[in-house]
């Protein structure tokens, strides 16, 4: 087994060494990027400053995931429940994909990254959808890391659409009730052509899923950290992956 040993300063004056095995890298990592507002508040800044700095953390996480050899990185950017926030904040969040892509797309293309979007396009402003569609189009033939933005995503909504799709096929006689299997359901989810996340990361100390990938996370390893999303960097991803590699995934069996 090839072992790579990494060292980094963990922010305190203690140096830690991480052992990351190259043959057990999670294929799909999903991240609930939380704590932007609290990060800003702690510094006496408006909440949007937290979102602005959160964008830089998206870049750091993407580069680090690519270097590690992760194949899919799903980022929870905006939930179907986030519409209840004040309009100015929602408007700001809706401008971030454009801003992020204007700054980073060239480098992402150079790195062979493929951009995807997972969520419901309706209600999203056209400038947000157009920026994402353009990035998806420009990177559709790339074969490197898949950077999947969960934008206006909600797991219950996704499942509801899935049930409706299948019900219509049954109603039209295209499908028999006996044909409904977990595999078929998988094919009707927004993640149809992606593996389930191996590792879920949530920042900001909250210990909940907030309507994120409830079906797909059935057997994912969960890793929580108290740091706020704008503070997230390569060392945190390495720490999460190192912890992931120490876990024993049993899927209900014995190992
Ligand atoms: C995450 O940070 C970003 C989004 C949910 C869009 P928050 O905005 O939720 O920050 P907190 O949780 O209020 O600190
Ligand atoms: C989850 O964070 C949604 C995103 C990160 C986009 P929230 O801040 O919306 O979640 P709650 O409200 O704390 O559950
Ligand atoms: Mg939050």
Read off the CATH number of the domain in which 120 is found: 3.40.1180.10
Q: Do 221 and 200 meet the contact criterion of CB atoms below 8 Å apart? A: yes
pLDDT in tens, 160-193: 999 999 999 999 999 999 999 999 999 999 999 9
Mean pLDDT of 203-232: 98
pLDDT of 127 > 60? The answer is yes
Mean pLDDT of 191-209: 98
| H or E, element range at 45 | none
The three-class DSSP label of residue 39 is helix
Which residue's CA lies nearest to atom 1 of ligand 2? 210
Residue owning tokens 């750091």: 60
Q: Residue 20: inside a domain, yes or no?
A: no
Active site residue 82: yes
For residue 15, the 8-state DSSP code is E
Distance (angstroms) between ligand 1 centre and the Cα of 165 equals: 32
Q: Residue 54: inside a domain, yes or no?
A: yes
pLDDT in tens, 15-69: 567 889 999 999 999 999 999 999 999 999 999 999 999 999 999 999 999 999 9
For residue 23, the 8-state DSSP code is G
DSSP string of 164-210?
HHHHHHHHTTSS-GGG--HHHHHHHSTTTTSPPPSEEEE-TT--S-T
CA 223/CA 136 separation, integer angstroms:
29
Mean pLDDT of 221-247: 97
Mean pLDDT of 136-150: 98
Q: Residue 175: inside a domain, yes or no?
A: no
Pick the catalytic residue: 13, 34, 91, 165?
34
Which residue's CA lies nearest to atom 14 of ligand 2? 210
Q: Which residues line ligand 2 (CB under 6 A)?
A: 32-34, 76-79, 82, 206, 208, 210
Q: Residue 188: inside a domain, yes or no?
A: no
Quickly count: other Cβ atoms within 10 Å of residue 254's Cβ: 4
**pLDDT above 70: percentage of residues in the chain:** 94
pLDDT band at 4 (very low <50, low <70, confident <90, very high): low
Residue owning tokens 């959160």: 54
Q: Residue 171: inside a domain, yes or no?
A: no
Which residue's CA lies nearest to atom 13 of ligand 1? 37
R_g (Cα) of the chain, nearest Å:
19
**What pLDDT does 8 receive?**
47
Of ligand 1's atoms, which has the minimum distance to the CA of residue 51?
3
173 annotated as belonging to a binding site for a ligand: no
Mean pLDDT of 104-116: 98
Q: Residue 208: inside a domain, yes or no?
A: yes
Number of domains in the chain: 1
**What pLDDT does 255 receive?**
79
Residue owning tokens 């359901």: 185
Q: Do 29 and 150 meet the contact criterion of CB atoms below 8 Å apart? A: no
pLDDT band at 6 (very low <50, low <70, confident <90, very high): low
**What pLDDT does 33 receive?**
98
pLDDT of 91 > 60? The answer is yes
CA 6/CA 204 separation, integer angstroms:
25
Mean pLDDT of 93-106: 98
Active site residue 148: no
E-strand ranges in the chain read: 3-9, 15-21, 28-32, 72-79, 114-118, 146-153, 199-202, 221-224
Q: What b/e string do you get for 226-247 counting C-beta neighbours within 10 Å, with b at 16 or more? A: ebbbbbbbbbbbbbbbbebbee
Alpha-helical (H) ranges within 69-125 are: 87-110
Please give the residue range of the domain that contains residue 146.
Answer: 27-154+199-246
CA 193/CA 182 separation, integer angstroms:
14
Q: Which residues line ligand 1 (CB under 6 A)?
A: 33-38, 78, 82, 93, 204, 229
Q: Residue 45: inside a domain, yes or no?
A: yes
Residue 164: exposed, middle, or buried by beta-carbon count in 10 A (0-12, 13-18, 19+)?
Answer: exposed
More confident residue, 4 or 24: 24
Q: Residue 176: inside a domain, yes or no?
A: no
Beta strands 15-21; 3-9: pairing state: antiparallel
From 31, 33, 36, 41, the mutation candidate for ligand 1 (largest count of ligand atoms within 8 A of CB) is 36
253 annotated as belonging to a binding site for a ligand: no
């Amino acid at each position: 087994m090839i072992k790579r040993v990494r060292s980094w300063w963990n922010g305190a004056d203690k140096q830690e060494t991480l052992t990351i095995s190259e043959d057990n890298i999670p294929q799909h990592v999903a991240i609930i990027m939380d704590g932007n507002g609290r990060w800003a508040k702690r510094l006496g800044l408006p909440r949007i400053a937290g979102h602005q700095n959160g964008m830089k953390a998206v870049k750091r996480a993407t580069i680090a995931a690519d270097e590690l050899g992760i194949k899919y990185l799903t980022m929870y950017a905006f939930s179907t429940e986030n519409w209840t926030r004040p309009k100015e904040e929602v408007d700001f969040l809706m401008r971030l994909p454009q801003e992020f892509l204007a700054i980073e797309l060239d480098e992402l293309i150079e790195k062979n990254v493929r951009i995807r979007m997972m969520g419901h396009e309706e209600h999203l402003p056209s400038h947000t959808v157009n920026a994402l569609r353009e990035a998806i189009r420009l990177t559709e033939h790339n074969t490197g890391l898949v950077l999947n933005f969960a934008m206006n995503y909600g797991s219950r909504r996704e499942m509801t659409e899935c049930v409706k799709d299948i019900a219509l096929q049954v109603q039209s006689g295209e499908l028999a009730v006996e044909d409904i299997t977990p595999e078929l359901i998988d094919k009707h989810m927004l993640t149809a052509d992606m593996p389930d996340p191996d590792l879920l990361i949530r920042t900001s100390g909250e210990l909940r899923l907030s309507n994120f990938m409830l079906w797909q996370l059935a057997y994912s390893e969960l890793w929580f950290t108290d740091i706020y999303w704008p503070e997230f960097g390569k060392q945190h991803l390495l720490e999460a992956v190192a912890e992931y590699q120490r876990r024993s995934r049993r899927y209900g069996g014995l190992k």
